[in-house]
Structure 1
Amino acid sequence: MAPILPVPSLLARFGLDPAPIITEAGFDPGWFDDPEHRVPFAAIGRLLALCVERSDCPWFGHLIGEQAGIEVLGLIGQLASQAPDVGAALHEIILYLHLHDRGAVPALWLTQERAILAYVIHQPEIPGIEQFYDGAVAIIHNIIKKLCGPEFRPLEIRLSRPRPADVEPYQRCYRAPLSFGAEHSAVVFDVNWLRHPLDGADAQLHAQLLQTIECFDAQWAEDLIAHLRRVLRQVLILGAAPGDTSLAHAARLFALHRRTLNRRLRARGTSFKALIEEARYDVARQLLRDTNLSSTDIAVSLDYADASAFTRAFKRWSGVTPGTWRASPPVR
Structure 2
Amino acid sequence: MRRVVDPGIRDWNFPRGIASVALMVDYAAEHGVPAARMLAGSGLAEATLADPDAQVDAHTELAVIRNLVRELADRPALGVEIGRRYRITTFGIFGFACVSSPTLGEAITFALRFLDLSFTFCLPVVEWTAGEFIAWVHDESVPADVRQFLVERDVTAMHQVMSDLLGRHLPLARAEFIFDEPAYADRIAEVTVVRPRFGRPRNLFTIDPAVLEQPLPQANAHTWAMCLAQCRDLVDRRRARTGIAADVRKLLVPGGTDGFTAPPGIDTVARNLNLSTRTLRRHLDAAGTSYRALLDEVRRALAEEMLTTTPLSVSDVAIRLGYAESSTFIYAFKRWTGATPAAYRRERVPRR
Q: TM-score, normalised by structure 1?
A: 0.64
Which residue in the other structure is 1:18 paired with?
34
CA contact (8 A) 1:157 1:186 kept: yes
Which residue in the other structure is 2:111 paired with?
93
Give the letter aligned to residue 189 of structure 1. I
Give the letter aligned to residue 156 of structure 1. R
Aligned partner (choices 261, 265, 270) of residue 260 of structure 1 = 265
Q: Deviations over 1:52-94 (max 9, x none)?
A: 3322125322211111122222111111211111111111111
CA contact (8 A) 1:12 1:18 kept: yes
Q: Are positions 1:81 and 2:86 aligned together? A: no
Which residue in the other structure is 1:234 paired with?
none
CA contact (8 A) 2:122 2:142 kept: no
Instruction: Report the aligned-residue RMSD.
Output: 3.7
Which residue in the other structure is 1:180 paired with?
198
Q: How does 1:21-36 map to 2 (within 5 A)?
A: 21-26=37-42, 27-36=44-53
| Cα drift, residue 192 of structure 1 | 1.7
Q: Are positions 1:40 and 2:57 aligned together? A: yes
Does the residue aligned with 1:107 lie in a helix, a strand or coil?
strand
Q: More deviation in 33-42 or 140-149?
A: 33-42
Residue 21 to residue 274, structure 1, CA distance change in 2 (3 Å): same
C-alpha distance in 2, partners of 1:279/1:120?
Answer: 20
Q: More deviation in 53-62 or 120-129?
A: 120-129
Q: Aligned residues: percent identity? A: 18
Does the residue aligned with 1:157 lie in a helix, a strand or coil?
strand
Which residue in the other structure is 1:269 paired with?
274
The structure with the largest alpha-carbon Rg is: 2
C-alpha distance in 2, partners of 1:34/1:165?
Answer: 38
Aligned partner (choices 38, 55, 65) of residue 83 of structure 2 = 65
Give the letter aligned to residue 269 of structure 1. N
Which residue in the other structure is 2:150 paired with?
132
The total of aligned residue pairs comes to: 255
Q: Deviations over 1:107-157 (max 9, x none)?
A: 212222221234445766575232222111111001111223316311123
C-alpha distance in 2, partners of 1:276/1:125?
Answer: 24
CA contact (8 A) 2:98 2:107 kept: yes
Aligned partner (choices 199, 207, 212) of residue 189 of structure 1 = 207
Residue 154 to residue 124, structure 1, CA distance change in 2 (3 Å): closer
Mind listing any 5+ residue stretches in structure 1 that lack a counterpart? 230-256, 283-332
Does the residue aligned with 2:55 lie in a helix, a strand or coil?
coil
| Cα drift, residue 20 of structure 1 | 4.0
C-alpha distance in 2, partners of 1:185/1:275?
Answer: 32
Does the residue aligned with 2:206 lie in a helix, a strand or coil?
strand
Structure possessing the higher relative contact order (Cα contacts under 8 Å, 6 or more residues apart): 2
Q: TM-score, normalised by structure 2?
A: 0.60
| Cα drift, residue 281 of structure 1 | 9.8
Does the residue aligned with 1:116 lie in a helix, a strand or coil?
strand
C-alpha distance in 1, partners of 2:285/2:233?
Answer: 31
Q: Are positions 1:114 and 2:146 aligned together? A: no
CA contact (8 A) 1:105 1:122 kept: no
Residue 120 to residue 40, structure 1, CA distance change in 2 (3 Å): farther
Residue 126 to residue 225, structure 1, CA distance change in 2 (3 Å): farther
